[in-house]
Amino acid sequence: MYPGATCALHHDNPWQLLVATILSAQCTDKRVNEVTPGLFKKYPAIQDFAAAKQEELAQDIRSTGFFNNKAKSVIGAARKILSDFGGEVPREMDKLLTVPGAARKTANVVLGTAFGIACGVVVDTHVQRIAQRLDLTKHKEPGKIEQDLMKAIPKEDWILFSHQIILHGRALCVARNPKCADCALNPLCYAKDKTA
């Protein structure tokens, strides 16, 4: 259904993807994509983010929600990457997890999309909902869902699978009133909240 699925967050490099992914927490990708062009114009390099005033950056990203915490994370991420990783976003999960604002979901997005490295499966709200609907997990906690998906999905498909499921969650398998009649997965799905 989604053979060419890719990350919906607009970015030109791994650093921009990391920033966009941090901003996407509790926010739509559409909104992030409205904010980032002006943001990356104002702060063109990682050094610009590291030198930013938190209050000013918070106002620049206000419409993404949780803007004070996100501003703190982005500035902290820039400073950590400059001080510990020579200004380059790390390509290893354990190193990326030391960067402020980069938990497993964010790290999986960046490693998979920017570097083509499959360390795990991105578990956002769409993946969580659909994995449960398709009986790929019984868990509610993202870390446990990720472990179940890593067992069920071949490693070479982890990156694409995440993008496909996220697109499916936006297009058809929405949270309220999923469009089950239009879904090719309908015969395989036994979700309690299926629609006719």
Catalytic residue list? 105, 124
Structure tokens, 18: 């990391």
R_g over Cα of the chain: 17
Measured CA distances, 97 to 108, 121, 125, 168 (Å): 10, 15, 20, 28
4 contacts 167 by C-beta, under 8 angstroms: no
154 contacts 53 by C-beta, under 8 angstroms: no
- Would you say the C-alpha torsion 159, 153, 105, 192 has a positive or negative sign? positive
Structure tokens, 74: 């982005």
173 contacts 118 by C-beta, under 8 angstroms: no
> 159: burial class by Cβ within 10 Å (0-12, 13-18, 19+)?
buried
- Return d(Cα 61, Cα 124) in angstroms, integer: 21
134 contacts 188 by C-beta, under 8 angstroms: yes
